[in-house]
A and B are shown apart, each in its own frame.
Chain A
Amino acid sequence: MKTKKKWDTRKTDYLERMSGAEPYINNGKVVAAEDTINVLEAVIRLFDRVNIEGNNQKQANFLAEALIKCDTQRIHDLYMVQSAVPLPVHLDMFEVGIAKKLDFAYGGPMGGRVAEAIKNGKLELGAIHTYLELFARYFIDLTPRVSLICAYEGDADGNLYTGFNTEDTPAIVEATKFSQGIVIAQVNKLVDKVTRVDIPGEWVDMVIESPKPFFLEPLFTRDPANITDTQVLMAMMAIKGIYGEYGVKRLNHGIGFNTAAIELILPTYGEELGLKGKICTEFALNPHPTMIPAIESGWVESIHSFGGELGMQKYCEARGDVFFLGPDGTMRSNRAFSQTAGHYACDMFIGGTLQIDKYGNSSTATATRVAGFGGAPNMGCDAKGRRHPSDAWLKCGAEFTSQSEYLGPMPRGKRLVVQMLESFGEKMVPGFVDELDAWQLAKNANLALPPVMIYADDLTHILTEEGIAFMHKCRNLEERMAAIRGVAGFTEVGLAAKSTETKALRDKGIIKTPEDLGIDRQRANRSLLAAKSVRELVDWSDGLYDPPARFRNW
């Protein structure tokens, strides 16, 4: 039965909140920095769902710092729905009671404090998501009422230029604004005319010039000086045993030294194997500085980025055939689209991890840190909705032994999901374990399920210094566990391997050692790296790459 109901309560609420902020808004949509707390107190209500923009790269840190200074009598118990909580202020918010509940994707350096806050009852955790999963929920059941975002430039009409670091902004703003929410932007600079309209002014309610530029973390910068010989060996195995073997052209690389090593030997070892043009042509990838030599030697046709990387702006602008540039000539990143691309259009995900259990589940969670996985799981899984073929995808699918159990003779592809891991980490911490620390974490932080980055059923290859285990070629769990043991080195898991069993798996091509792949271990050293230092990356870039101060050693 049709009920009598008001259908514009959101709109009314929006107007009511905005009227409180009105006195502080001048000259169109401009709010002075010193009035920030006043406008936040005016538009935010108890229990509101609030988004503070930020991920593993850019942060609306000025607005976050202002929110925590708000009157806790007026504003408390907020429900934070946001990509990441990597700054101390994000957790302080829960300590002082401004915020109570959290749904997020990435905790980074604050992982330890998240776990602590959950334990002492200061933080009620909804769930740990992937970026894309969280964005999806913004449009279903976690729509923010107020979003605090950041941009490089803004004008009096509210138009924003987010440029190189557009990242999450479009997803947040669209979800918030089109449900009659309030969008407040901190901008590095108020300008008469923005360089490019990345967010239309109509979608933004207030613009505040922050005293300092927004915080930007160069998370994807890896100093080649710290790449080890073992990482070079593993990179050689990856290129010869996986990239070359499958002809992987479209892919994503995770963060870390393992993939940085791969990027840096493409122009040397990759070239030598004659793989140029046959692999690594299209990426969903942040502008990794370690990609510069491969790009400069003509390996790469296209890169779409989740975010920008500090210092890479000029370089990307000067390589318009590779990166996605706007009509104004500057790059635009977009996390939602790039994650979608990573999920649907890439044939492979390859990245490092901290732990793999004896079944093949892998996680970077430790017993005391709720860190989240950001975007890795979106790419580190088989895209079940994928319907377009590619050689690599089809070949992997054809090798997927147990597929016929479900599909009969129906052909289907499979994404390559590769985890790279040395059997022991620093200080003899084993990479292969009986049980993931994630189980302990789930207990410690009252999580509904252990946080797993990549589940065993998605994982196709494990690559260690001992060899590559082709997991998807295994017939059953028993065989997969034997394959893991066979590459787990001298860890407890590895010591349980029987040499006859491992030998049999090698004969079947389920395990391939460097020798099986025809890789000379003696060549596995840093001299294969196309750039051995950040300085050499700058030289490769013709001075276009401007590395952050902490990476400079000249």
Chain B
Amino acid sequence: MSKQLHEITFELKAQNPTDFVEDFAHFGVVGSGDMEVIIEQKNLDGAVKVKIVTPVTGYDEVWRRVLERFVNDTGVANASLEINDNNATPVVVSLRLRQALSEVD
């Protein structure tokens, strides 16, 4: 029996992109049912690169959909997102991502 942290990576593109201009932003705490995120400016040809590290498996598609909506709603582009997750629900994920973005506003 083995148990390892699960890593999910993918790239997204916003429909109405606005470049993420901050060098670095961090938000959140990896409490139970919560997560943290680092957002960094990266030259990715308008794309957003996402990496999630989580103990939970089987929700890769949900993660993609949640992040897709975040990227489309906010227009974030040319950025890398790194998430450490510990069982956060989509509600919490969306909330933390928006809070992270507003931290740098």
Contacts and interface: CB of A to CB of B under 8 A. Distances in A.
Asked if chains A and B are in direct contact (CB within 8 A), the reply is yes
A337 interface: no
Interface stretch (B13-21, B45-53, B87-95): B87-95
Nearest to B102: A522
B90 A423 contact: yes
Contacts of B59: 428
A382 interface: no
Contacts of B89: 422-426, 428
A537 B56 CA distance: 37
Interface residues of A, number: 16
B65 A465 contact: no
B98 interface: yes
Contacts of A427: 33, 87
B87 to A, nearest CB: 6
B5 interface: no
A168 B56 CA distance: 46
A229 B65 contact: no
Given A490-B62, A490-B66, A495-B65, A428 B56 contact: yes
Nearest to A524: B95
Interface string B58-80: 01001001100000000000000
A230 interface: yes
Contact of A423 (B33, B87, B91): B91
Contact of B87 (A230, A428, A490, A521): A428
Contacts of B90: 423-424, 489-490
A445 to B, nearest CB: 29
B71 to A, nearest CB: 15
Contact of B95 (A230, A423, A426): A230
B95 A422 contact: no
Contacts, number: 36
A233 B92 CA distance: 12
A180 to B, nearest CB: 56
Given A426-B33, A490-B62, A521 B95 contact: yes
Interface string A414-448: 00000000111111100000000000000000000
Which of A229, A423, A465, A490 has the most chain B CB atoms closer than 10 A to its own CB? A490
Interface of B is mostly: helix
Contacts of B98: 521-522
Interface in A206-230: 229-230
Contact of B91 (A465, A495, A522): A465
Interface residues on B, range: 10 to 19
Nearest to A229: B95
A495 B92 CA distance: 17
Nearest to B88: A428
Contact of A230 (B65, B91, B102): B91
A490 to B, nearest CB: 4
Contacts of A495: 65
A422 to B, nearest CB: 6
A233 B59 CA distance: 25
Counting chain A CB atoms within 10 Å of each CB, the highest count among B59, B66, B90, B98 belongs to: B90
A521 B97 CA distance: 12
A467 to B, nearest CB: 12
A311 to B, nearest CB: 28
B35 to A, nearest CB: 13
A475 to B, nearest CB: 28
B46 to A, nearest CB: 22
A497 to B, nearest CB: 11
Contacts of A424: 89-91
Contacts of B99: 522
A422 B91 contact: yes
B34 to A, nearest CB: 10
A466 to B, nearest CB: 8
A489 B33 CA distance: 17
Interface string A39-75: 0000000000000000000000000000000000000
A540 B87 CA distance: 35
Q: Which of B56, B95, B102 has the most chain A CB atoms closer than 10 A to its own CB?
A: B95
Contact of A490 (B33, B65, B102): B65
Nearest to A495: B65
A465 B98 CA distance: 14
Contacts of A428: 56, 59, 87, 89
Contacts of B102: 522
A425 B56 CA distance: 15
Interface in A92-127: none
B66 to A, nearest CB: 6
A302 B20 CA distance: 53
Top 5 closest pairs, chain A to chain B, by CB: A424-B89, A490-B90, A465-B91, A490-B62, A230-B91
8 contacts: A230-B92, A233-B95, A423-B89, A426-B89, A428-B56, A521-B95, A522-B99, A522-B102
Interface of B: 33, 56, 59, 62, 65-66, 87, 89-92, 95, 98-99, 102
Given A230-B92, A495-B65, 18 more contacts: A229-B95, A230-B91, A233-B95, A422-B89, A423-B89, A423-B90, A423-B91, A426-B33, A427-B87, A428-B56, A428-B59, A465-B91, A489-B91, A490-B62, A490-B66, A521-B95, A522-B98, A522-B99
